[in-house]
C-alpha cells in the first residue's frame, strides 16, 4: 500500500505566507481594526500672496495660534495693497496699511472665520479660517 505524498514544504510555506498576507491587509470595514486617515494637518504658518489684484489663496485655514504672512507685492497700478479686517479679528496688527514689497505676519489666537478686504481694489477679498 502506498502512502499519500505530502505537499512540498516550500509550496506549503508559500501558501501560508499568501494566506497570512491576505488576512493582514488593511481593514476598511469600519471596525476597531480600521486604518483611519485624519487628513492633512492645518499649517501653523501660511503665506497669502497678492499676484495682481487678488489674494491667493482667497481662503486660508490655520490652527489656533497659527500665523498668516501676507506677502504684499506691488499692484498692477503701482500702489500696493492693504488688508482691512471686518469685525473683531484677533491678532496684531489690527489692519495692514497700504504697503508693497513687504511681508506682514499676523497670529490668530481664537477660532472663527475672519473676512478681510483690500479697500483700494474692489472685489479683492479673502478670509482666514481658524480651527
pLDDT, residue 123, reads 97
For residue 92, the model assigns a pLDDT of 86
Hey, what's the cell of 5? Answer: 505524498
Per-residue pLDDT tens for 79-89? Answer: 999 999 998 88
- Report the predicted TM-score, pTM, of the whole model to 2 decimal places: 0.67
Residues of the chain with pLDDT under 70: 1-42
Write down the pLDDT at residue 91.
86
Domains of the chain with CATH codes: 45-130 (2.60.40.420)
Cβ atoms of 68 and 48 closer than 8 Å: yes
- Cell numbers representing residue 90 in the block: 484677533
Predicted confidence at residue 41, as pLDDT, reads 60
Give, in order, the Cα–Cα distances in Å from 77 to each of 51, 53, 101, 123: 12, 9, 14, 15
- Rounded to a whole number of angstroms, the distance between the first and last alpha carbons of the chain is 78
Cα–Cα distance between 70 and 90 in angstroms, integer?
16
pLDDT at 5: 52
Q: Given strand 67-72, what is the order of strands in its sheet? A: 45-49, 67-72, 102-107
Amino acid at each position: 500500500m502506498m502512502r499519500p505524498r505530502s505537499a512540498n514544504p516550500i509550496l506549503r510555506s508559500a501558501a501560508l505566507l499568501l494566506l497570512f498576507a491576505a488576512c493582514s491587509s488593511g481593514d476598511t470595514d469600519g471596525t476597531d481594526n480600521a486604518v483611519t486617515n485624519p487628513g492633512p494637518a492645518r499649517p501653523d504658518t501660511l503665506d497669502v500672496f497678492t499676484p495682481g489684484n487678488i489674494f491667493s489663496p482667497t481662503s486660508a485655514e490655520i490652527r489656533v495660534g497659527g500665523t498668516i504672512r501676507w506677502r504684499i507685492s506691488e499692484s498692477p497700478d503701482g500702489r500696493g495693497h492693504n488688508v482691512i479686517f471686518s469685525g473683531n479679528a484677533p491678532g496684531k496688527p489690527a489692519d495692514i496699511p497700504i504697503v508693497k514689497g513687504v511681508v506682514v505676519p499676523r497670529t490668530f489666537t481664537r477660532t472663527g472665520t475672519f473676512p478681510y478686504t483690500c479697500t483700494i481694489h474692489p472685489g479683492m477679498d479673502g478670509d482666514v479660517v481658524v480651527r
